[in-house]
Amino acid sequence: MKILPYQILVQSFLLFSLLFNSVKAHAQKPSQEVLINNLIKQLTIEEKVALIHGIAHFSNGNVPRLGIPSLIPSDGPHGIRMDLKDDWSALDKGNDSGTYLPVLNTLAATWNKQLAYSFGKVLGSEGRYRKKHLLAGPGINIIRNPLNGRNFEYMSEDPFLISKMVVKYVNGVQSEGISACVKHFIANNQETNRGIVNVEMSDRALHEIYLPGFKAAVIDGKVNAVMGSYSKFRGQYCTHNEYLVNKLLKGDWKFDGLLISDWGSVHDTHEAIYNGTDLEMGTELEMKEVNYNNFFLGDTVVTLVKSGQVPESLIDEKVRRILRLLYRSNAFTNETKGGFATDQHISVALKVAEEGIVLLKNDQRVLPLKKTIKNVLIVGVTAKNKMAIGGGSSQVRPKYEITAFDGIRNFLGKDVVIDYAPGYLMEKNAAPNKALIDEATAKAAKADAVIYVGGWAHDYDNSGIWDNRAFDTEASDKTDLTMPFGQDELLKSLLGVNKNTAVVLYGGGPIDMTSWITKAPAVLQAWYPGMEGGTAIANILFGKVNPSGKLPMTFPKKLEDAPTFKFDNDTSEYLNLQYKEGIFVGYRYYDTYKVEPQFPFGHGLSYTNFLYSGLTIKKIKDKLYVSFTVKNSGKVAGSETPQLYVKDMHPSLAKAEKELKAFDKIALKPGESKQVNLVLDSAAFSYYDEATKGFRFDAGEYKIIIGSSSRDIRLQGLVNYN
C-alpha cells in the first residue's frame, strides 16, 4: 500500500506529540527532595519526633496517615541477624535461616575488591528478602589492639586496605536496593568499658589512620548511613560529637545520609539535637522500665520545640535524612524482592572462605596433605564447634554450618579412617586436662596425619560460663593472647609425636604461638570462615584449592610486642585512653621500630611460587605509573597479591618506614606471567599537616617498594615526586 505524504506528516506529528508529552510528564514528576519537603510540611511535631527515635528494638516510628513506614534496620555485617523477641532472645519463626558469610577480617584477608562487592550483594539481597531497609555493617574500625573482642567484625589495621574493600562492600549492598551503614564512627577500638571510655589522639593519627575508611565509604562509596560509636572522643560522646559529626562528616565530607546511634549510645538530648544525631536507637537497654517516649529524642524534644527552646528546623533536618534513607532503601515501594540462602549466595560464602584463609607456615611442604593417607586424626573441640550463633550482635542463624570436622570427613569420604579426640574441655578457667591430652597424644602417634583445630571461639550460647580469654565477642575484650583451655600444652604434646601435623586456627586475630610455632610444620589461619568454612578448610588442607589469603593485620610474637602495650601498657580498661602510638599502628610500628612479628602484615603462603621482575616507574604530570611482571614458576595454578608500599627517603617529620598505597590480586596458571599496573597520585605521598589542618606532600625522593608482604620485598625503585 502506498503511503501518501500527508499520512507521513500525520504520523510524524503523532510521534512528536507522544514524545513531547512523555518528556513533559517526566519533567513534571516531582523530585525526591520535593516529595520529602512536602511530607515534612504535613507532619506535626509529635509525628516528626516519633520518626527520630526507636519504638521497638529494630524500628522507629511511622506515620500511617501519610504512608510513611517505619525504618527497619538489621544487624548483620556477615549475615542478616535472626529476628528477636522483646527480651532479645531469638524468635524462632522458621524463615530466618540464611547465609552465614565469613567474618570481615576473612573478607579483608582475600584482598579481593570484586569479592567484597559480591559479599555486599549477598547481604543486600538477603536483607531485602527479609524486608529490612538498613544493614548495620560493615564494621571498619582500625584493628589497633589485638585483645579487642570485636576485631573479628572489623577488617584491618591498615586504612588503605579498609578503604578499598569498604567501598566495594557498600556498593554491593546498596546495589540491591537497601542501605549499608558503616560503623562505628569513630575509635571503637575496644569493647571493655566501651560506653564510657574517652579516646584522645592527635589530629594526624585521626586523619591518617582512623578516618580514611569512613571518608572513603562516604565520598567514594556513597554510603547511605553511618552509625555512631559508643565511646567518647576528646570528652564528648561520638554519636553526638560536634567535631566528628557536624564539622567532619556532615560538613567537610558533605554527607547527606543518616547518622544513626549505636544501640544505647545517646546520652544527652541537647547534644543529640544540635550535634547531628538523626535517629536514636536502643536507649531502652539502659532503662529499668521501657518507655520509648522517654528516649533522649522522645517527648522531651516535643516540649523543647513547642516552648521555643529548640528550632523546629533542626528536627526537620533529622526527619529529612530519615525520609531520604527510606526512599533510597525502597521502603515506600518495596519494589525489589531479594533472595535468601540461595545456591549463588552460598557459593560466595565458600569463595570468600577459600580466598580468605591464610597459610601462615608450610615447612617442607607438609601441605597439601596427600590424598593417599590411610588414617587421619582430628584433634580439638573447635573442630566440631559451630560459630554462627555467637559473638554478640553479629550472630546469624545459618541454613546449615559445616564445621572443620564435617568438611574434612566429607572431603575424604569412606576410604580414609578418621579418628577424633577432643583434647581439651571448654570450661571457665579450664586448665590442661592431662587425661584428654594423653588420649589425643596416643592416637596422634599412630596416625598418618594429625589435623589440630583450635584457637579462639565465640560465646555461642551466651551462657557466661566461658573464660574471658576464650572468645571473640562484643562487649568484652580478651585478657591475653594465650590460647585458652590448655591448648598450648596439648599442641606441644601432639607435635612431639607426629611431625605430619597441620594446625588450623580459628579466631578474630593473633594468638601467642611462641611455645610451639618452631615445631609446627604447617599452620592455617581460618578466622571464622562461615557456613562453608569446613569445606574451605578441607579443600585447602588437601590441595583442591591453593591458598591465597594475606594477613590484613600483623601477628605479634607476644602481647608485649604490640604497639598499644609498648607505648602505654594498654590494658584496654583505662577510662581516659591516650593513643600514644599515634600513626604507628600495626606494621607501621613493627617495621619502623624494628620489632620482629610472628607473621607480618600482608603475609600469606601458596602451594606455588611467584617471581617478580621488570619494575618500571614513570611519572606523567602528577601521577606515577608503576609496572612489573609476576610469574607463576610452580606447577599449580594460584593467585598472588602484589603490594606496593611507599617510603619517604628524607621525611620532614616522623613517618612510618613504609605505607601500603596500592595492591592488586591476580590469578596465574603454571608458568603464566602477567604484567601488573598500579597508579599512584599525590595522595600516596601525602601526610596530614596539623599546622595547616590539611593533607600535603613534600617534594623529594621516595622509594617504591613491591612486596608479597610488608616484609617479603621483591622489587624496589627510587623516584623523585614533586
Query: Which residues are marked as active site?
Result: 262
Greatest pairwise CA separation for the chain in angstroms: 102
Q: Which of 425, 421, 430 is nearest to 379 (CA)?
A: 421
* CB-based contacts of 459-467 (< 8 A; 24+ apart in sequence): 459/390, 459/391, 460/385, 460/386, 460/387, 460/388, 460/389, 460/390, 461/389, 461/390, 462/390, 465/427, 465/428, 466/426, 466/428, 467/428, 467/429, 467/430
CB 628 within 8 A of CB 678: no
Closest CA to 449 of 512, 511, 507, 373: 373
Residue 352 grid coordinates = 570468600
- Beta partners for 632? 610
CA–CA distance, 229 with 264 (Å, rounded to integer): 10
Angle ∠(494,390,75) on CA atoms, nearest 5: 145
Distance in angstroms between the alpha carbons of the first and the last residue of the chain: 74
Contact (CB, 8 A) for 279 and 13: no
Closest residue by Cα to residue 254 from 281, 226, 286:
226
What is the spatial distance between Cα 280 and Cα 151, in angstroms, rounded to a whole number?
25
Among 22, 26, 51, smallest CA distance to 39 is for 51
Q: What is the dihedral of CA 628, 630, 631, 634, to 10 degrees?
A: 150
Cβ(680)–Cβ(578) under 8 Å?
no
β pairing state of 623-632 and 673-680: antiparallel
Nearest CA to 382 out of 469, 468, 506 is that of 506
Q: How far is CA 519 from CA 362, 490, 491, 498, in A?
A: 11, 13, 10, 10
Residue 135 and residue 173: Cα distance in Å, rounded?
8
**H or E stretch at 592:** helix 587-592
Best CA proximity match to 530, nearest among 38, 102, 72: 102
- SS3 of 211-232: the string is CHHHHHHHHCCCCCEEEECCCE
Residues 466 and 489 sit within 8 Å (Cβ to Cβ): no
Which whole-number Å values give the CA distances from 701 to 601, 632, 662, 685, 707, in the listed order? Answer: 25, 32, 18, 10, 19
Name the 3-class secondary structure at 139: strand
**3-state SS, residue 299:** helix
Identify the bridge partners of residue 419 per DSSP, sorted by sequence position: 377
Q: Where are the alpha helices (DSSP H) in 29-141?
A: 32-42, 45-51, 104-110, 113-129
CA-to-CA distance for 16 and 13, rounded, in angstroms? 5
SS3 call for 246: helix
